[in-house]
Structures are given as C-alpha cells and as structure tokens.
C-alpha cells in the first residue's frame, strides 16, 4: 500500500501539483463575486492602508480598497488575458505552421523568414511600442500579446507537419480523395495536438507574466480595474509603509505561473517519455 502511494506520488506528484495550482486559481477567479467579501472597487476611506486584519484579510490599499477582493478580481483579468492571448497566438501559429509545413516551397520560405524577423525583435520592446499607440485596454493587450508570441508555435507545428505529411496514413487519405483541408485538420493537426497543447499551457504562463509586467509599467490594464500587475504598481509607491500591498499580488503571479509551468512540463514528460530521464 505504502509502496503504491510512493509510486503514485513519484509518477503523478508533479502533474497533480500543477493541476491543483491551476484549478485553484481558475476556481477562485470564476467564483470571485461569491468569494470576495467586498466589491473590488469599494473604497473604505476610514480604513486606508490598514495591515491585514480580521476585517480585511489581506489589508487595504491607498484608497481603502480591500486587497483580498481586488486580488480575486485581478486574477480574473490576468487569467482571461492569458487564455485569450494564447488562443490568438496558438491559432495563428497552428494555421501558419500547417500551411508552411504542408505546402513547402515559396510559401514555407516566406513564412519562416517572417518568423525569423519577428524573433529578432526584443518582444517586450515591440509590445510596448504597439501598446503605446493603441489605447491600453484589456482587448488590445490580449491582441498584442497574441500577435507577438505565435512564432514558437509556428515552428513547432511546422516541424510536426513536415514529418507527419510523409506518413502512410496521409498518403492513404490522399488516395482516398480526401480534401487538403480534411487531411490537414483530421490527420495532421490531430496528430500534432499534444505538443501544441503543451506549448499552450506554457504560453499561458508567459502571457500572464507579460500582462502583469505591462500593467506594472502602467501600460496594461488601466485602473480602477484591478489586475495583479497594477496592484503591484500601486503598492510600489508605499512599499516602505505598506509592504503587504507588494507582497500578495506578486505571490499570486508566482503561484499561477508556477502552476502552469509545472503542468506544462509534466504533460511534456507524459507525452514524450524520452526526455523525462534526461531532465527532471
């Protein structure tokens, strides 16, 4: 019994831990209106900059807003931005990668050179430059993060497609008269789904980090809407008298990103056992 337990922990401990963190964060974000003791923007002007207490679990900020409630609602924004941005980048990356790998030739060359060019930009510079000219609201941030992070997925899908298109089942499908679109979706994409999902999981972590960095610089989610990044920006100015304002949002980012990274890594180990021995 005990050996069995040890085996289970060894085999699925990492996956379980990652899944636990991710699900926790998702649940708290979904249930934020039920869990939050106060409205995230309600100002309690008689409780400004109060330390964590019975009444305000994680303290209050400069405007007397409850940090715990803001943390929950901030999580909603951060996760939402992460998911949509990754959705955009995965869609672009998958479509371009499929086209590039399946049709080869000039199209492939053009797409891959464009990927080279995009990878040369320090991506954070590019994101800042674009955000500066568009209104920095949530939708634009999702779009910009998505539009600047699809290159890795393109390469991944292209590499998978290059090897899959030579397989017998693709030749058989062609002989049977399947349309190119059908082959691409049902035969090639279906077989390349695992690595795409893994990179999507890791991508959510990256997108959340970028969103919070942008908000921290004041170019992301705009106040009064709470996001973990702009809560940290708020806390920075009063860090010497109210350190809890800087502590909790950062911790939330850390745990969420950690969760997605661990989940992605353990999924990768499961789908690609060859790498498991070598790395973690």
Contact residues toward other proteins (CB under 8 A) are 109, 112-126, 128-134, 152, 155, 202, 205-206, 209, 212-213, 216-217, 219, 232, 235-236, 239-240, 243, 246-247, 249-250, 253-255, 257-258, 261-262, 264-265, 268, 275, 278-280
Query: Residue 22: how many CA atoms within 13 Å on its side-chain side?
Result: 19
Determine contact, residues 38/216, Cβ cutoff 8 Å: no
| Residue 187 beta carbon to other proteins: minimum distance, rounded to whole angstroms | 24
CB nearer other proteins, residue 178 or residue 261: 261
Distance of CA 151 to the CA centre of its chain: 15
CA–CA distances in Å: residue 32 to residues 55, 73, 141:
18, 6, 22
Determine contact, residues 89/150, Cβ cutoff 8 Å: yes
- CB atoms near residue 7 (< 10 Å): 10
Hey, CA dihedral for 167, 168, 173, 174, is it positive or negative? Answer: positive
Determine contact, residues 255/261, Cβ cutoff 8 Å: no
CB nearer other proteins, residue 155 or residue 187: 155
Per the rule left: phi > 0, alpha: psi between -120 and 50, beta: everything else, 225 is: beta
Instruction: Tell me the Cα Rg of the chain.
Output: 22
| Residue 19 beta carbon to other proteins: minimum distance, rounded to whole angstroms | 15
| Residue 178 beta carbon to other proteins: minimum distance, rounded to whole angstroms | 29
Per-residue buried b or exposed e for 73-101, using 16+ beta carbons within 10 Å of the residue's own CB: bbbbbbbebbbbbbbbbbebbbbbbbbbb
| Residue 221 beta carbon to other proteins: minimum distance, rounded to whole angstroms | 15
| Residue 267 beta carbon to other proteins: minimum distance, rounded to whole angstroms | 12
Residue corresponding to tokens 């702009």: 230
| Residue 105 beta carbon to other proteins: minimum distance, rounded to whole angstroms | 12
CB nearer other proteins, residue 173 or residue 199: 199
CB nearer other proteins, residue 151 or residue 173: 151
CB nearer other proteins, residue 98 or residue 205: 205
Residue corresponding to tokens 């672009």: 92
CB nearer other proteins, residue 24 or residue 31: 24
| Residue 120 beta carbon to other proteins: minimum distance, rounded to whole angstroms | 4
CB nearer other proteins, residue 20 or residue 280: 280
């Amino acid at each position: 019994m005990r050996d069995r337990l040890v085996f289970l922990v060894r085999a699925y401990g990492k996956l379980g831990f990652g899944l636990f963190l991710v699900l926790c964060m998702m649940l708290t974000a979904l249930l934020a209106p039920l869990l939050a003791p106060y409205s995230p923007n309600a100002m309690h002007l008689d409780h400004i900059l109060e330390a964590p207490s019975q009444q305000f679990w994680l303290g209050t900020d400069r405007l007397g807003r409850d940090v715990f409630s803001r943390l929950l609602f901030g999580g909603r924004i951060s996760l939402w931005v992460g998911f949509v941005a990754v959705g955009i980048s995965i869609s672009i990356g998958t479509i371009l990668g499929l086209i590039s790998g399946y049709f080869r030739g000039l199209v492939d060359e053009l797409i891959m050179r464009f990927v080279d060019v995009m990878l040369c930009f320090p991506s954070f510079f590019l994101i800042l430059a674009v955000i500066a000219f568009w209104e920095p609201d949530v939708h634009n941030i999702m779009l910009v993060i998505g539009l600047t992070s699809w290159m890795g997925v393109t390469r991944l899908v292209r590499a998978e497609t290059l090897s899959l298109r030579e397989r017998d089942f693709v030749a058989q499908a062609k002989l049977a008269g399947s349309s190119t679109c059908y082959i691409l979706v049902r035969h090639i994409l279906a077989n390349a789904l695992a690595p795409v999902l893994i990179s999507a999981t890791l991508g959510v972590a990256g997108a959340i980090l970028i969103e919070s960095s942008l908000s921290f610089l004041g170019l992301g989610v705009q106040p009064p809407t709470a996001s973990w990044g702009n809560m940290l920006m708020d806390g920075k100015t009063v860090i010497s008298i109210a350190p809890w304002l800087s502590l909790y949002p950062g911790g939330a980012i850390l745990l969420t990103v950690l969760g997605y990274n661990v989940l992605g890594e353990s999924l990768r180990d499961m789908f690609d056992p060859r790498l498991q021995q070598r790395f973690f």
